Structure 1
Amino acid sequence: MSNTSEIPMPEPTNKRLPLSQYQIISFDVYGTLIQYKQHILSSFKPLLSRLPTDSPLRNSTPLSPHISDSATTGDIEFLKIFQKQEDTIKLELASNPLRFDKALQEIWRRVAAQLGVTTTDEEVQRFGSEENIKSWPCFPGSIEALQVIQSASSGHKLVALSNIDKYATDLTFAASGLGNISWSKVYTAEDFGTSEEDLKLADQRKLEALLGYAEEVGCSKEHVLHVAQSLGHDHAPAKKMGISSVFLTGDGPVWGKEGESRMAVEKGLVGYGWRCEDLREFSKLVKQEEQS
């Protein structure tokens, strides 16, 4: 069992309003709506199996003995390597970014080279294929929860914030069902700028785009609510920019995020006003308030 509920709530960035008063509700896509980490790991398992059995990346010790699907120590070490390669490629190619499928292929090649294991062109192509991108699913119940929020009588404008390019986001939306939601706006990586400075400030640029949209439709900042899982990429910058937010713990406990969650609150880095296990729980709050 997760002990996230034992972590104190932070001081809210802004005074909490009734949920019906938020005119815009935005959602981070990858990591909040789309579950991708486990699928990346699964894709790389054949490659990792070629490492020596005593490799730290094959350490099968679970992070938590109390969570049945807990990530392992090796999983976490591998994801660090994957993330570093992804970030490096983005910065190297800022002036001429690779389309996401090509970026995935390059990540595979570089990870294989870093680990000193052989790979094949077929494996490279498979990881960067449309089929692989389309296979990343929504977290359970997310589509139904979005439909509940969308149908609320207060008429929230729903905004999707994707840090991945339009090519891959379109594939994901079509395959996962997110494309059936009546989004008022969908932002993709191209909308946040692709210069090296933009990429270094990507989390800020994402929320700047959100506030720009709010201004366009005549919505004040205090009536914008951002829903996300990542504390570092979403909730910390939301606090800095004065945006109210909802923290979805999601599969965070699987990846050993309780310590990070506690630290973020203790150091005053975040100011989310609601904390829910998943989008289903948040949608119930929206519905309950509407019915009260």
Structure 2
Amino acid sequence: MLEFSKYKLLTFDCYGTLIDWDTSISNIVQPWLVEMRSQVPPDLVVSTFALMQAKHQQMRPTLLYPEVLRRSWRDIEEQFGWDENLARADEFARSVPSWRPFADTIESLQYLSRHFALGILSNVDNASLSGTLRALEVPFLFTVTAEDVASYKPGEPHFDVAFQEAARHGIDKSEILHTAQSKHHDIAPGNRLGLTTIWVNRRHGKKGTGATLAATANPSLTVNSLAELVDLHRSAQGASQPVSLSQ
């Protein structure tokens, strides 16, 4: 069990951890699959997206995220032999603000914000993240985007800037808990940098890794949801009856 009282800042990956991008992307592409009379299941589209996204992020770290999405959708069309559809590519590129939080995200963040400063390290652009922040309903001490650092995780520039931002507020790296669903993008680089990490295994009980890539990493703590993290913190604070938030 982590000694939560040692930490002042809780940083999050956003998409996949706070935002249910697997379901959100599936909901976007499902009507398109029906229109195309395609037998490709949405979860295969999502896992293919993970590969295409990673390719473009590695090839062009300065490419803004909407363009990563646009090019990834074109690659998906080619992969499955679908006709090119520029309107769908454009809609996909603009879709991030419509991706919805997990059911436990907002209530969990509201609780955690009473005990920690909060930050976000995200692989999107500033405009896309701003739409998401309005839906999350809690203040963040700082955010770091791929646009800010001209790099995509699992590269380390996000973390370097986060350490600098934390230091400006008197918070040492040893007082940061980095919390994420993706071992590839977050937990593995966190291990390399000596961060205390919490793996939120959002896909527990499901096959595959969804919109992220598989990786080997060693989190300091594993939970299946933010609600579980809240319950652990409440228990550590001495609450006699931890209350589970909606899953």
Q: TM-score, normalised by structure 2?
A: 0.81
- Give SS of 1:226's match: strand
> Kindly tell me: are residues 233 and 122 of structure 1, through their superposed partners in 2, closer, same or farther at Cα, counting changes over 3 Å?
closer
Correspondences of 1:250-269 after superposition (within 5 Å) = 250-256=202-208, 264=216, 269=217
Q: CA deviation at 1:172?
A: 1.6
2:171 alignment counterpart = 219
Please point out which of 47, 58, 75 is paired with 2:43: 75
Correspondences of 1:106-125 after superposition (within 5 Å) = 106-125=71-90
In 2, Cα distance between the equivalents of 1:110 and 1:29?
Answer: 24
The aligned amino acid for 2:53 is E
- Give SS of 1:254's match: coil
Percent of counterpart pairs with the same letter? 24
**Is residue 36 from structure 1 mapped to residue 21 from structure 2 by the alignment?**
yes
In 1, Cα distance between the equivalents of 2:79 and 2:172?
Answer: 48
Which runs of no fewer than 5 residues in structure 2 stay unpaired? Answer: 210-214, 240-247
In 2, Cα distance between the equivalents of 1:239 and 1:83?
Answer: 22
In 1, Cα distance between the equivalents of 2:38 and 2:12?
Answer: 41
> Kindly tell me: are residues 52 and 188 of structure 1, through their superposed partners in 2, closer, same or farther at Cα, counting changes over 3 Å?
closer
The structure whose Rg is larger is 1
2:143 alignment counterpart = 186
Higher relative contact order (CA 8 A, sep 6+): 1
Q: CA deviation at 1:93?
A: 4.2
- Give SS of 2:194's match: coil
Q: Retained in 2: the 8 A contact 1:35–1:139? A: yes
> Kindly tell me: are residues 103 and 236 of structure 1, through their superposed partners in 2, closer, same or farther at Cα, counting changes over 3 Å?
closer
- Give SS of 2:198's match: strand
In 2, Cα distance between the equivalents of 1:115 and 1:103?
Answer: 18
Q: CA deviation at 1:214?
A: 2.6
**Is residue 287 from structure 1 mapped to residue 234 from structure 2 by the alignment?**
yes
Q: Retained in 2: the 8 A contact 1:163–1:189? A: yes
Q: CA deviation at 1:114?
A: 3.4
RMSD, matched Cα? 2.7
**Is residue 234 from structure 1 mapped to residue 213 from structure 2 by the alignment?**
no
